[in-house]
Amino acid sequence: MTRTLAAYQPHYFPRVHYLARAHQADVFVLYDDVEFSRRSRHHRAPIDHYGKEWLTIPVRHVGSATSIADAVIDMSSRWPVDHLETLCGKFGSVATEWQPFYERLCLRPIAIETVADNEEAIARRVGRDRVETCLQANERVAAYRRESGLPALRERKASLQDQISARKRADSNAEITDLLEEAAAISESISAVERTCQALRVRRNRAIVDLSRALEPDAPFERQPMKALWNLEGVDPNDTLGEVNVVELTIPILVSLFGRFDIETTVVRSSELPVEYPGDPSTYLACLTEYADCDRYLTGSTAVENYLDERPFADRGQEIQVQNWSPPWEDGNVCVLEVLYGADNPADVIDQ
């Protein structure tokens, strides 16, 4: 009996033909141990919404030897929040079903008020030291604000500015050096207080992050929204989250989409298979086909026309089949989300 293998690099919310090819195969290889390309759909999704044509996952600097599996996301911006907002803006509240895929990449910090209200229960999970560090750091912020006299300093500065304006209105040549000197001294005092406040807030925020990381994601304590991490002063999300790979988002999304479109094909990652890369992509694909006990390789016309060498397949007695599929969807080969949220039965669109 003929068994068919197809291989495709992981895409971010791909077009419909991608799922159709997976559906037509017995084994679908997520081809993730080849070079990552910034111009590819490895990290870009075709979402047309109010002029935005692509959602792009930001990726840290990569060299020519960086594989798709090893490409690391730049988490310094709140792109997960922006992408989810764009999806919901285009497709409506139903698109919130993708929120967990983004949240698992991020850290949702716990609010300091939640720590205070659940002190003992949280201490049992992460240790009393972490809880006390958070609460004490927060108390230092509050205490310094109370003791610094910052409101009074700001009030005095505003009063001086009013006095300067009043004196100049009464006499444009009036001497205001004394007021300017006092205002400058107060401004410096305010700046010093604000610098100290900032340092204390940063210390508290980092303690909150440390506690939040130690707390299990499913612990029964309310977390702040996903965007909160990027609002914490003095916290670098890249340092906080460590290395987050592109495939930690794209592959789970693909697997979920396969399920939503009733695709029962066996899905594997090439980077996890015990097949050595022989130095030639066509030979590698033939080896993957052989390893999966398949005798047919399903590919696209672009590959056949541009780079696929048929000889490694012929040497192994394997047939090459070009995907013969045309999108029945009226708008053509669109992003799969257009079909998922627009078709009465999305699976019918790829089962042609």
Per-residue pLDDT at 52:
67
Work out how many domains the chain is built from and give that number.
2
Domain match, 69 and 163 both: no
Find all residues with CB under 8 Å of 116, minimum gap 6, and list them: 135, 138
User: In terms of domains, do 254 and 137 share one?
Assistant: no
Whether residue 287 is predicted with pLDDT greater than 70 in this model: the reply is yes
Cβ atoms 19, 261 nearer than 8 A? yes
Show which of 191, 211, 241 is a domain's final residue.
Answer: 241
Average of per-residue pLDDT across 278-284: 92
Query: Residue 177 burial by CB count (10 A; 0-12/13-18/19+): exposed, middle or buried?
Result: exposed
Residue 232 sits in the same domain as residue 254 = no
326 located within any domain: yes
User: What pTM was estimated for this model as a whole?
Assistant: 0.88
Point out the domain boundary residue: 241, 258, 289.
241
Are 31 and 270 in contact by the 8 Å Cβ rule? The answer is yes
Same-domain pairing of 47 and 19: yes
Q: Write the secondary structure of 309-351 as one string of H (helix), E (strand) and C (coil).
A: CCHHHHHCCCEEEECCCCCCCCCCCCEHHHHHCCCCCHHHHHC
pLDDT of 305 strictly over 80: yes
pLDDT digit string (tens) for 307-322? 899 999 999 999 999 9
Mean of pLDDT over the chain: 92
- In this structure, the strands spanning 266-269 and 55-56 are unpaired
Residue 344 confidence (pLDDT): 87
pLDDT average, residue stretch 218-246: 93
Low-confidence winner among 238-252, 262-276, 333-347 (lowest mean pLDDT): 333-347
Given 241, 270, 303, the domain boundary residue is 241
Do residues 4 and 27 touch, judged by C-beta distance below 8 A?
A: yes
Burial label, 144 (beta-carbon count in 10 A; 0-12, 13-18, 19+):
middle
The reply to whether 183 and 137 lie within a common domain is yes
**pLDDT-based confidence at 87, cuts 50/70/90?**
very high
Structure tokens at 335: 């992003």
Verify that 147 and 229 share a domain, yes or no.
Answer: yes
pLDDT digits (tens, 9 = 90+) for 158-216: 998 999 898 888 888 888 888 888 889 989 988 998 899 999 999 999 999 999 999 99
Average the pLDDT over 105-113 and give the result: 94
Place of tokens 């895929």: 101
Structure tokens at 314: 């012929």
Q: Looking at the structure, do residues 231 and 261 belong to the same domain, yes or no?
A: no
Residue 84 tokens, joined: 């989810």
Contact 294, 26 (CB under 8 A): yes
In-domain check, residue 102: no
Is 222 a residue whose pLDDT tops 80? yes
Residue 57, pLDDT score: 96
Of 127 and 329, which is predicted with more confidence? Answer: 127
Angle, CA 349 vertex, CA 346 and CA 350 arms, to 5°: 105
* Cβ pair 72, 237 in contact under 8 A: no
Distance (Å, whole) CA 201 – CA 134 = 11
Banded model confidence at residue 326, pLDDT cuts 50, 70, 90: confident
pLDDT value for 170: 86
For residue range 25-80, list pLDDT tens digits in order. 999 999 999 999 988 999 999 887 676 678 999 999 777 789 999 999 999 999 99
Q: Determine the pLDDT at residue 352.
A: 63
- Asked whether residue 251 falls in the same domain as residue 237, the answer is no
**Reported confidence tier of residue 113, pLDDT bands at 50, 70, 90:** very high
> pLDDT at position 332, please?
82
Cα of first residue to Cα of last residue in the chain, in angstroms, is 22
Residues 212 and 125 in one domain: yes
**Maximum CA extent, the chain:** 101
Q: What is the pLDDT of residue 231?
A: 94
What is the CA 217 to chain-centroid distance, rounded?
A: 17
Query: What is the model's pLDDT at position 350?
Result: 84
- If asked whether residues 227 and 248 sit together in one domain, one would say no
Range of the domain at 60: 4-95+244-350
Q: Is residue 103 part of a domain?
A: no
Q: Do 283 and 219 fall into the same domain? A: no
